[in-house]
């Protein structure tokens, strides 16, 4: 993956990148709508979770008012969803406070309020909440009593099954309202090396005010490292994630030495450099002059940038994502840990087999067999499909 594929640039993707850059920096050049397909532009904006940012940029100019009208229904839908999720986050915060449960919202409404001063700028489809591992079952029971149900595939109907998720999360969906809560008991899954291998989230929390409440939040240094880790895990396949890092760099006061020390101590400086340099290259934010150099970062930045500007599909296919992440990790130990995660049972295995807890170990050999069958079937279909040269 050292030499990134040369994808042709999509006019629509380039327009959207310029629109969000203009949203973050009013001095940046206005996006040029000439030659773009409005429907494709809207589709891509929805896929990248940037409709509110783009819509507000489109409203600035008479040349894009017509396009703004096309975006308006999607903007209003995102607005209603954001307000509903913000209200539910406040209700959950009150519920957890009543039961003395520690929590930290991740991304979502709180991040939108903190970085952009507005609940409705960031688009999210659920409420991500970090909780203590020993509180998972108690929080699950509280949400069940509030009308939620477990939506994560479980290998068995028992308490221990709720803690078996490879991603260290439990998804819960409200039975009557369009609300989803994603409970995390690790800020980043165990198999993905991050600065939080050596830093405790719970020791230095700050707070952000939302709807009259002070809600626990990550300190600036942890927030930046989290945003870089989360984006890196998915090869920064959404423009919104780069916007968040750019806005974080614009608005937060960092102790840069603490950020660099945490990243160096956990062997994740490359994640930090990747996220910040994408923000600088695509969104124009300024970075400290004394950030460390790493020649392995530039190919990763180029890969992400080319993929975004070519409007390549998301999620990133594993055939591209796995090599990308292996290049991003700085040590063989972290690469092996990442690969071990891919051979751990996932929701897909739990959906197919329902083994009792005593036989859970059988999911480990079943996963590579399932993947081999899946890829063999996919290869067979491709070989059987006639091409133009046949």
pLDDT for the residue 152: 94
- Beta carbons of 139 and 131 less than 8 angstroms apart: yes
pLDDT, tens only, 200-233: 899 899 999 998 889 999 999 999 999 999 999 9
Q: Which residues of 87-98 are buried (b: 16+ CB within 10 A; e: fewer)?
A: ebbbebbebbee
Q: How far apart, in Å, do the first and last CA atoms of the chain sit?
A: 30
pLDDT, tens only, 98-122: 999 999 999 999 999 999 999 989 9
Whether cis (ω within 30° of 0) applies to the bond prior to 315 is yes
- Beta carbons of 249 and 263 less than 8 angstroms apart: no
Distance of alpha carbon 175 from alpha carbon 143, whole angstroms: 11
Looking up tokens 């009208």 gives 69
Q: Examine the pLDDT at 1 and tell me if it is beyond 80.
A: no
pLDDT, tens only, 160-181: 889 999 999 999 999 999 999 9
What structural domains does the chain harbor? 11-361 (3.30.460.40)
Q: Examine the pLDDT at 381 and tell me if it is beyond 70.
A: no
- Beta carbons of 320 and 4 less than 8 angstroms apart: no
Q: Which residues, including other chains, have CB under 8 Å from residue 248's CB and lie 6 or more apart?
A: 115, 220, 223, 224, 227
C-alpha distances out from residue 198 to 49, 192, 195, 221, 339, Å? 31, 13, 6, 13, 21
Burial zone of 82 (CB within 10 Å; 0-12 exposed, 13-18 middle, 19+ buried): buried
- DSSP assignment of 222-264: HHHHHHHHHHHHTTT-SHHHHHHHHHHHHH----HHHHHHHHH
pLDDT for the residue 7: 79
Check residue 320 and report its DSSP letter.
H
pLDDT for the residue 390: 39
Which whole number is the average pLDDT over 224-243?
A: 98
Q: Examine the pLDDT at 375 and tell me if it is beyond 80.
A: no
pLDDT for the residue 192: 97
């Amino acid at each position: 993956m050292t030499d990134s594929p040369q994808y042709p640039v999509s006019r629509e993707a380039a327009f959207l990148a310029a629109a969000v850059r203009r949203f973050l920096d009013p001095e940046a050049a206005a996006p040029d709508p000439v030659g773009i397909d409005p429907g494709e532009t809207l589709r891509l904006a929805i896929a990248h979770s940037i409709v509110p940012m783009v819509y507000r940029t489109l409203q600035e100019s008479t040349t894009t008012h017509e396009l703004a009208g096309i975006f308006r229904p999607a903007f209003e839908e995102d607005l209603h969803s954001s307000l509903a999720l913000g209200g539910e986050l406040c209700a959950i915060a009150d519920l957890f406070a009543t039961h003395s449960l520690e929590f930290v919202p991740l991304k979502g409404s709180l991040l939108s309020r903190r970085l952009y001063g507005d609940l409705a700028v960031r688009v999210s489809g659920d409420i991500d909440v970090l909780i203590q591992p020993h509180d998972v079952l108690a929080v699950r029971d509280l949400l069940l009593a509030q009308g939620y149900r477990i939506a994560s595939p479980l290998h068995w109907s028992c308490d221990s099954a709720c803690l078996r998720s490879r991603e260290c999360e439990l998804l819960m969906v409200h039975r009557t309202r369009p609300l989803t809560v994603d409970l995390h008991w690790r800020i980043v899954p165990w198999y993905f090396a991050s600065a939080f291998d050596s830093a405790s989230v719970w020791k230095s929390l700050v707070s952000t005010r939302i709807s009259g409440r002070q809600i626990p939040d990550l300190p600036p240094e942890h927030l930046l490292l989290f945003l870089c880790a989360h984006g890196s895990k998915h090869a920064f396949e959404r423009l919104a994630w780069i916007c968040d890092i750019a806005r974080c760099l614009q608005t937060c006061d960092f102790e840069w030495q603490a950020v660099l020390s945490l990243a160096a101590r956990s062997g994740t400086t490359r994640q930090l450099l990747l996220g910040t340099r994408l923000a600088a290259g695509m969104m124009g934010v300024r970075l400290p002059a004394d950030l460390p150099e790493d020649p392995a970062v530039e190919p990763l930045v180029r890969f992400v940038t080319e993929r975004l500007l070519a409007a390549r599909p998301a999620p990133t296919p594993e055939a591209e994502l796995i090599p990308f992440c292996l290049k991003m990790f700085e040590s063989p130990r972290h690469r092996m840990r990442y690969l071990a995660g891919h051979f751990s049972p996932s929701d897909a295995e739990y959906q197919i087999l329902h083994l009792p807890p005593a036989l859970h170990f059988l999911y480990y050999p079943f996963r590579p067999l399932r993947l081999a069958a899946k890829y063999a079937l996919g290869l067979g279909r491709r070989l059987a499909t006639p091409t133009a040269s046949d």
